[in-house]
Amino acid sequence: MTDAASRLDSIHQGISDAARLARRLPEAVTLVAVSKTRSAAEIEQLIAAGQRDFGESRVQEADAKWPALVERYPDVRLHAIGRLQSNKAEDAVRLFGTIHSLDRSSLLRALVQAGAKVGRLPTVYVQVNIGDEQQKGGVAMADLPGFLDQVRASPLPLAGLMAIPPLGPEPSPYFALLAKLARRHKLDGLSIGMSGDYRAAVMLGATVVRVGSALFE
């Protein structure tokens, strides 16, 4: 096995182990490989090993890297996971089938407009500022119900909630809180968990984990 294939294998194993502990099905968890800052050659090793879902933080970087790869591997699925400017909405909709960082009305409007123009509506996750951090992206918890109403009134398919917990020793309470919010709002999708905490996220209900460094290093 190549290094990339064995790293992929070990993450899949970690997901399965965590899912089994929580009496969940491993197939209910999608692994998104976060390929920001990684080269096309590094990405292709993972594609060769069978990985198909990839996440990028910046539209410009993704736009430079992915169109050529998508041409060669048309079955890859791209996920936008970083803060998104409304003026990049059209590029984003061309590239990404799923957007994990929808957090404000102006961006919702821009994505709906771009989707109509491009002829493709992205699936969205609403990002929640789960630690109420000043500088973080994500809709404030107090504003979540109203914002979800807006998204549900739009043509964009709403998959669920996404969050990046505050840096610190223990992400689990934040994962549990996001899971509770998702249940309260009858949403199935939960985009939580990165290299350091994806097992905990799976135990607490993640349906998508976004793993970068553990897959590439």
Q: What residues make contact with ligand PLP under the rule CB under 6 A?
A: 34, 36, 57, 81-82, 164, 194-196, 210-214
Residue of 215, 136, 181, 213 lying closest to 205 (CA atoms): 181
Nearer to ligand PLP, 60 or 149 (CB): 60
Comparing every residue's Cβ against ligand PLP, the nearest one is 212
Q: How far is the CB of 10 from ligand PLP (least distance, A)?
A: 14
CB contact at 8 A, 84 and 60: no
Nearer to ligand PLP, 19 or 201 (CB): 201
Q: How far is the CB of 66 from ligand PLP (least distance, A)?
A: 16
For residue 131 the two structure tokens come to: 């630690």
Q: How far is the CB of 23 from ligand PLP (least distance, A)?
A: 25
Q: How far is the CB of 217 from ligand PLP (least distance, A)?
A: 8
Bridge partners for 22 per DSSP? none
Q: How many helices (H) and strands (E) does the chain have?
A: 9, 8
Distance CA 78, CA 83 (A): 15
DSSP state of 156: S
CB contact at 8 A, 207 and 175: no
Nearer to ligand PLP, 72 or 172 (CB): 172
158-162 and 208-211 beta bridge pairing:
unpaired
Q: How far is the CB of 136 from ligand PLP (least distance, A)?
A: 11
Question: Hunting for tokens 């996971």 — which residue is that?
Answer: 81
Nearer to ligand PLP, 205 or 212 (CB): 212
CB contact at 8 A, 162 and 125: yes
Q: How far is the CB of 82 from ligand PLP (least distance, A)?
A: 6
Nearer to ligand PLP, 108 or 164 (CB): 164
Nearer to ligand PLP, 17 or 118 (CB): 17
Distance CA 211, CA 207 (A): 13
